[in-house]
Structure 1
């Protein structure tokens, strides 16, 4: 472990993108507070953290409970003295048309996927502000900028997250606070959510292709935690979605009406008897990956270029300057 390990808290730490983020920080020797509802999976994640060279603190709680999140943050500060990075990643969702989604289902998705981020951010800031140091990373989505059919609850929560984060960013700037808040917006990821989220679709849910492995997101989150970037878009699909919605939102309405249903369903019929994790966690530990390993991409050229854009810009300037100098010599 490093001589002065970084202290990180990750919500949604027991599976999917959150689990991959935990592993990535652990490889850097971080001390990681693990927040999720399922204690058994958190214990497995804690073992992985230790095996990778970090130190873990298991903090089972539901992020929809602000008091429980505050208690978890207090335990981290009591154990390690402070919090350097807080990553909000916990989520639940419902795959269903608007008219088949109940008010209680909307409320639960908002409680976890939006208010859970609010609770985590507030608890983090309470501990970061006295030190004048710290970063909050919001794990967002391309769907924060463009709603799609069958995911109105999730899209609503992620849209709300953008508004909350932008408001907070302005307040921090007004207060001349050195604290940093950033968003990492993701494409379709190969995570277990498609096997345990509540679904009312006729066939099995799947991420909209192309699909990326959660390690791609984890690398972006860890990079964002250590660089002063306002936001990071991960993957070409995210770029296309966000830019496309700014330029041709009406065309996207028509396109998603035509293909948005089929792209979110595989050919397999939905198992109507399987449990879902909307209200209570599903037992077992699938880890970070879902069942789409054979189709998922392990790397993103777009993300690499995004994270290295300063280096690429410098290389481009050198190339243009060299070409201009060479041309001048030839003309001379």
Structure 2
């Protein structure tokens, strides 16, 4: 039976790199808001001999996520792996000047959507599946208030789920990626020497080796 990997935030950066790394062994279910980027990813997956199902959706749309999970169940009956790479990166700002709309978007995407998705994914993953999350060492750093606080909350949710499922499954793994030349990082660090950062493909291979080790 073909293994399945759902990647939320699959259109670029680490999510796309992990989709390509997993494509030889998994059918990739790629979720992102950008249709064009998903289509480019699909072409790359096909070039590797793999197959993908594209789901141009917003993870904050609860009805869309319900439809997606029902579709996964109807087609495959289960899910082998969930990779949660989706994140909302609000502009950096001093804690006393955070825009209310930016904070609301951060809470909705990084906290609320993650909590909702865990409730949807747990039955699909069952006892034998696995979930992969990504910590960020910038949480608590100056000017990272809205992003850092909501990212830390997301990882707190993941750690609770991890502790709760040690004996029952699914297996929950939390990786800490090295800095990569992604679009998100470029917004946070304009003008940075991107050549000094780790290529997402290299980082994807490292994380999967750690995950499977």
Normalised to the residue count of structure 2, the TM-score between the two structures is 0.88
Match of 2:33 in 1: 37
Q: Is 1:51 aligned to residue 47 of structure 2?
A: yes
Please give the root-mean-square deviation of Cα atoms over the aligned residues, in Å.
2.4
Larger radius of gyration: 1
Matches within 5 A, 1:97-136: 97-129=94-126, 132-136=127-131
Distance in 2 (CA, whole Å) between partners of 1:80 and 1:219 is: 26
Q: Is the 8 Å Cα contact of residues 182 and 224 (structure 1) preserved in structure 2?
A: no
Matches within 5 A, 1:299-310: none
Structure 1 residue 207 displacement after superposition? 8.2
Give the alignment partner of residue 16 of structure 1, picking from 13, 22, 40.
13
1:131-188 deviation digits (Å, cap 9, x = unpaired)? x2100001221234xx111221121122112321222223224xx4132001011232
1:285-306 deviation digits (Å, cap 9, x = unpaired)? xxxxxxxxxxxxxxxxxxxxxx
Change (3 A) 1:190 1:77: same
Change (3 A) 1:204 1:110: same
Structure 1 segments (4+ residues) deviating >6 Å: none
Distance in 1 (CA, whole Å) between partners of 2:72 and 2:155 is: 27
Q: Is the 8 Å Cα contact of residues 148 and 155 (structure 1) preserved in structure 2?
A: yes
Q: Is the 8 Å Cα contact of residues 88 and 121 (structure 1) preserved in structure 2?
A: no
3-state SS of paired residue (1:87): strand
Q: Which runs of 5+ in 2 are unaligned?
A: none
Matches within 5 A, 1:309-324: none
Structure 1 residue 44 displacement after superposition? 1.5
Change (3 A) 1:44 1:142: same
3-state SS of paired residue (1:24): helix
Match of 1:313 in 2: none
Match of 2:204 in 1: 218
Q: Is the 8 Å Cα contact of residues 188 and 208 (structure 1) preserved in structure 2?
A: no
Give the alignment partner of residue 6 of structure 1, picking from 3, 6, 13.
3
Q: Is the 8 Å Cα contact of residues 6 and 30 (structure 2) preserved in structure 1?
A: yes
Change (3 A) 1:50 1:209: closer
Distance in 1 (CA, whole Å) between partners of 2:35 and 2:150 is: 25
Q: Is the 8 Å Cα contact of residues 135 and 225 (structure 1) preserved in structure 2?
A: no
Structure 1 residue 224 displacement after superposition? 4.5
Distance in 2 (CA, whole Å) between partners of 1:86 and 1:157 is: 20
Match of 1:266 in 2: none
How many residues are paired up? Answer: 212
Q: Is the 8 Å Cα contact of residues 134 and 180 (structure 1) preserved in structure 2?
A: yes
Normalised to the residue count of structure 1, the TM-score between the two structures is 0.58
Distance in 1 (CA, whole Å) between partners of 2:17 and 2:205 is: 9
Change (3 A) 1:21 1:188: same
Q: Is the 8 Å Cα contact of residues 32 and 58 (structure 2) preserved in structure 1?
A: yes
Q: Is 1:182 aligned to residue 173 of structure 2?
A: yes
Structure 1 residue 63 displacement after superposition? 1.1
Give the alignment partner of residue 69 of structure 2, picking from 60, 67, 73.
73
